[in-house]
Structure 1
Amino acid sequence: MKNLTEHTTVQPLFQPFQLGALALSNRIVMAPMTRGFSPGGIPTEDVASYYRRRAEHDVGLIVTEGTGINHPASVSGSSIPLFYGEKALQGWEQVVKEVHTAGGKIAPQLWHVGMTRSPGDEPNTEAMPVGPSGLALTGEKVSEPLTTKEIHDLVSAYAQGAADAKRLGFDAVEIHGAHGYLIDQFIWSHTNHRTDEYGGDLKGRTRFAVEIVEACREAVGPDFPIIFRFSQWKMSDYKAKIAETPEELEEFLTPLVEAGVDIFHTSTRRFWEPEFEGSDLNLAGWTKKISGKPTIIVGSIGLNGEFTSGAGAETTSLDGLMERFQHDEFDMAAVGRSLLMDPAWAEKVRDGRADELQAYSRESLNNLY
């Protein structure tokens, strides 16, 4: 294992970050990772303790696993946490209290899986998957396209989640617009064949995301931070792109900025890969350059294998990450698998305890460390 601080200091990652009312002690973010330890959609005491432990060990901002918005087909699985209903929200309120008691900051990720859900999936087996055109990510017709009224209802459900996040004491809210889930299914031309105002060109396909951000902004007011997570790749197609050029990326980002996004969480599989030909900038770097907004970088940070490979991974240097930070390509760094299995990862990196860092094992998915 290469020493994480062998060549380049990581201390800049442990400088404070301030955006309006959001004051973070450092730039380390816990990336959202679906865990499935919330029976009946209700986060338990174990879930609260899981997040608290990261706050205790110097994670600057925790973004929760994806939480289902108030729609019968929002998640696929009976143990995926929900973000509606009295019991589920009480569970999240306890999570917030524990994280805050430990000195941490936390944001829920609002999620709808869209057409990645299979007919008959729990928790609502009678609910059909929904999407812009009723198409699975592979292109097959599964259900009818969403009506305009159904789209408006979904927008309202996201806004309700954002309002509840603020009411429960969360420090920000993240909207999951990545990886081929519902919002991304509208953005991606492969799954959006609509000819109305929610389809067609990139501007039309982005309209659903824009209306969600606008509704969330109205629900939480001007000072509550809204994070928007997006990706080029999809779970079904790692080479997919919603923007083939920087110009197209600008066409996508600009209306989202105008709608009220404060921070972009740019999901890549490998953070070190350039996004477009002719430049070394990755997706976070391009997004920050175009939008002027802070960005969160993510994608196999501190490990030598991407999470979508389904395999284990060894620890590796953060030199490349720090080089991009020095070039002002991003503001925060989101860490997934390393924090999933080791609550003290950030603390160990901060203190130069590289010899204590652990390789990632898939078995860690079965536990709440």
Structure 2
Amino acid sequence: MAAEQSMELHEAYPMTGGDGLYSYVNNSSGQKAVIDSAKELVKRAIVEKLDKEILCSFKTFRIADLGCSVGPNTYFAVQNILEALESKYQQCHQIPEFQVFYSDHSANDFNLLFTSLPQNRNYYAAGVPGSFYGRLFPEASLHFVHCSYAIQWLSGAPKELMDKSSPAWNKSRIHYANSGDEVVRAYKAQYHKDIEQFLQARAQEIVCGGLMVLIFPGVPNGTHHSQSLPSMILELLGSCLMDMARKGIVSEEKVDTLNIPIYGMSPQELKEAVEGNGRFSIEIMEDLPLMIHDHAVSGGQSKIDTQAFVCHMRAGLEGLFKNHFGERILDVLFESYRNKIEENSSIFMSGKAVNSFVLLKRKLSTSKLAS
């Protein structure tokens, strides 16, 4: 039954593969900086929150990185985990063998991922294709799960956004920054459905007492969607498409039917989802530095490298736009986007955003656990 559930189809637009100019490999230094900033929290999580019984009871310790993409960031994240584990394992008589599962959609560039694996790695590596909104692993088989900059992606855009008869029809927009309340509610509903499926699947896969680290970009608690920096950034991209529609480069109908399946959740929203699920305890919840490209953003800093930022966005979104509009518009679209970002760089100071680090621990028992 679990295998059948894991085969449910979800929209899949992985990061741009290969090692070209707009590849994720060459345009993900911002994500790397976030992983680096979380290193001490990961160490603290393992040292303080991982029970000795978990450490010393298994001959093989299994780690999964969900939404791993193509590297090299996933390798750094895994190495941070292993360094902390090896230090912690001094409490045991012997260090176990480590097995690391790299998981992403089946369309991910796994060839590049595995050809660039660290040669001196001290673990066994395996790939697990599929959406993390369903089961990916056998019951109680994982001891530590890591997921960075991935759960902001929904399983798909809400269907009602493309229904002309629906009050949530999102005409002329590709996201929800300045859309009506019905559009925002549709995105929220999709998020709530997805995060519950995510937590339900992980609760079945992670051993009791096991840990899960979630790192995600979102918005501070209480932020109105119109003030969200992630939404403002996507709204500018949507305005580029509407400019192209007015010039006849793309059809307006095509723009109407594109909705980017990204939701900027707040830490409070995730907390409520975890509490509603009932199978994990929240052990750590802290903010990480907000990174634009690979620089921390603080009061007074407004200058960014617009070309680097646009390449970063293209590495993440190119597959989605290519699938919807075709490849021929990509260069024009992202050149227009670069100009828009330069003209509206003030949004990086006025828009609200936060990077969150959350450590969850699989409860030993819960009345909500269902078979």
**Under a length normalisation based on structure 1, what TM-score does the superposition of the two structures give?**
0.32
The structure with the greater share of residues assigned to helix is 2
**Under a length normalisation based on structure 2, what TM-score does the superposition of the two structures give?**
0.32
Greater RCO, CA 8 A, separation 6+: 2
